[in-house]
Amino acid sequence: MAVESTSAPEHAERDAAPLPKGLSAQEVCDEYFKSCNEKDSERWLSCLHLDKRALATSKRPGPFDVCQWDLGRARVEKYMACYVFKRQVGEQKLKDSEPVIVLEYQPVYGPVPGYIEGTDLGAPIHITVQKEGGASKGEWRVMSGAF
């Protein structure tokens, strides 16, 4: 006897609802780092471009491996790391005229004994952000952003 499932299959497109519409590229990146700091994996996933939200398979890693969630969490737990926006590195248009923006963030120490709060924690990080769903109506989402 077949049982009809009422829930979406695991491979179904993930909903990006936790992220409000109309955010700028920088605001999406800020949410990306904030959600990692707060251990909010659902919100963190909603910051990722649909192509990066795909589940892991035997042939490719999933979003937590590709974007190094564990490294981001380790920096937060050990150093209370924060990520400070520094500058927009570049902007270009791809084949379908979807803009791509590269933003630079600097990880800094938080209030941790033995470290000076606000000093640099490693090299700057470049985050690539692209509009998901087309240039005119799409929402900015993170395409690459390893911690």
CATH of the domain at 39: 3.10.450.100
Distance CA 122, CA 127 (A): 15
Tell me the mean pLDDT in the region 31-59.
81
In which order are the strands placed within the sheet that holds 99-108?
82-93, 99-108, 125-132, 139-144
Tell me whether residue 13 is in a domain: no
How many independent structural domains does the chain possess? 1
Q: Are 105 and 117 in contact (CB under 8 A)?
A: no
Domain span at residue 97?
25-54+62-144
Tell me whether residue 9 is in a domain: no
Residue 78 sits at φ, ψ, to 5 deg, of -85, -40
Tell me whether residue 105 is in a domain: yes
DSSP strand pairing (139-144 vs 99-108): unpaired
Long-range contacts of 12-21 (CB under 8 A, 24+ apart): 13/50, 14/45, 14/46, 14/50, 14/53, 15/46, 16/46, 16/50, 16/132, 16/139, 16/141, 17/46, 18/42, 18/43, 18/46, 19/43, 19/46, 19/47, 19/139, 21/139
* Residue 56, number of CB atoms within 10 A of its CB: 12
Tell me whether residue 29 is in a domain: yes
pLDDT at 75 exceeding the cut of 80: yes
Tell me whether residue 15 is in a domain: no
Tens of pLDDT along 109-145? 999 999 999 999 989 999 888 887 766 678 888 887 6
Q: Are 101 and 128 in contact (CB under 8 A)?
A: yes
Tell me whether residue 1 is in a domain: no
Amino acid symbol at 101: I
Tell me whether residue 16 is in a domain: no
Tell me the mean pLDDT in the region 54-63.
66
pTM exceeding the 0.85 threshold for the entire prediction:
no
Tens of pLDDT along 6-15? 443 443 344 4
Tell me whether residue 18 is in a domain: no
